[in-house]
Structure 1
Amino acid sequence: MTDLSAFPITKKWPATRPDVLQLYSLPTPNGVKVSIALEETGLAYEPHLVKFDTNDQLTPEFLSLNPNNKIPAIIDPAGPGGQPLALFESGAILVYLADKTGQLMPADPARRYETLQWLMFQMGGVGPMFGQLGFFHKFAGKDYEDKRPRDRYVAESRRLLGVLDKHLQGKTWILGDDYTVADIAVFPWINNLIGFYGAGDLVGYGDFGQVDRVLKAFVDRPAVQRGLQIPNRG
């Protein structure tokens, strides 16, 4: 049996199946990227819930795995060369899982880089902008009489949705017929924007029919439906 005792995080979240990939996460848009990818690939894994309401992400055990105190993070006991690999940052984890399984990433080098550019589009644009919009709209907006911060993120979120909507014309997925980590990165954030954040009307989501078409196809996938609930909040 694999020994993961060298990783301090396993003291707080013991591995009952140390031979499989360990996922430390919460079902947020960034967290479910990895659980969805794991469900899509069929790779065996054990999820561990990192609770923000008790500041689990700030504990020494979690910081030993991710010093940036963000979810998700993983330990793969069967990493490169057969050695355990600890990894954080959802985008990096998605690329790693795609490479490990040979799934969710086109084999053609040019198509691979196209996939990576849309993954970076989410990491550098969609995630930060939608997250700030959610903060000012759902959480702290009532505390700010000046709506210019919120409106700045509304405008940028609309712009990003417009970029994606135009790109999706005539395509099944972001990379055309290929379902990839780019879709798994982008669409949980859009689902969260109109769902949990309740910002659909605010951003005029009805103007982006292509985005909505592909989002519906995305959430209809059984692996996505499972991944959106993992780890179970208990």
Structure 2
Amino acid sequence: MSDLSAFPITEKWPAQHPERLQLYSLPTPNGVKIPIMLEEIGMPYEVHKVDFSKDDQNSPAFLSLNPNNKIPAILDPDGPGGKPLALFESGAILIYLADKSGQLLPKDPAARYHAIQWLMFQIGGIGPMFGQVGFFTKFAGKEYEDKRPRDRYVAESRRLLGVVDAQLARHAWIAGEEFTIADIAIFPWINNLFTFYEASELVGATDFTHVTATLARFLARPSVQKGLKIPA
């Protein structure tokens, strides 16, 4: 049996199945990426809910795993060399799991980097910009009388959706003809923008027909349907 006792996070969230990958998350656009990935590759895992309403993300136990107090994070008992590996940042975790499983990243080096570039596109652009739209439409920013900040982020989000739409006009998925970690990174954010943030009309979702059609195919995947609800 794997021994994870050296990791303080297991004191707050004990591992019932220490031989499995331990996932610490919440169903946010970033948080659902990893359960979707794990369901896609068929890797056993145990999930632990990091409850923001209880400030779990700022607990010493969680900070011992991710000093940046963000979800998701993982603890893999079977990391490189057979030793446990703690890892945070959703993009890094996706690459790690793709490499470990040999799935959802092309083997060809050029194609691999093309997929990674679209992963970085989400991390550097879609995530921050869509998140700001959410602030100004769903959270405290919606009360601001001055709509210029909101409109600035809406315009940039529309531009980013246009980039994605143009790519999907030429390819079945973001990085080409195969489903990859780039899709797992991007589509939860698009889905969240249109649904939870209630910004579909604001950003003109109907203008991006390739985005909406591919999003529907993404949401129809069994791994996505399950992963979007984890942790419950």
**TM-score normalized by structure 1?**
0.98
What is the aligned partner in structure 1 of residue 192 from structure 2?
A: 192
Q: 2:155, 2:203 within 8 Å by CA — same for their partners in 1? A: yes
What is the aligned partner in structure 2 of residue 73 from structure 1?
A: 73
CA distance in structure 2 between the aligned counterparts of 1:93 and 1:170, rounded to whole angstroms: 28
CA shift at 1:172, angstroms? Answer: 1.2
CA distance in structure 1 between the aligned counterparts of 2:58 and 2:68, rounded to whole angstroms: 9
Q: Does 1:170 align with 2:135?
A: no
Q: 2:21, 2:46 within 8 Å by CA — same for their partners in 1? A: yes
Counterpart amino acid of 2:181? V
| 1:58-103, Cα deviation, whole Å (9 max, x unpaired) | 0000000000000000000000000000000000000000000000
Which residues of 2 match residues 213-232 of structure 1 at below 5 A? 213-232=213-232
CA shift at 1:142, angstroms? Answer: 3.5
- SS at 1:31's partner residue? coil
What is the aligned partner in structure 2 of residue 203 from structure 1?
A: 203
Gaps of 5+ in 2: none
CA shift at 1:176, angstroms? Answer: 2.3
What is the aligned partner in structure 2 of residue 108 from structure 1?
A: 108
CA distance in structure 1 between the aligned counterparts of 2:37 and 2:114, rounded to whole angstroms: 18
- SS at 1:211's partner residue? helix
**TM-score normalized by structure 2?**
0.99
CA shift at 1:44, angstroms? Answer: 0.6
* Percent identity (aligned): 70
CA distance in structure 1 between the aligned counterparts of 2:26 and 2:228, rounded to whole angstroms: 10
Q: 2:135, 2:142 within 8 Å by CA — same for their partners in 1? A: no
Runs of 4+ more than 4 Å apart: none
| Cα root mean square deviation, aligned | 0.7
What is the aligned partner in structure 2 of residue 126 from structure 1?
A: 126
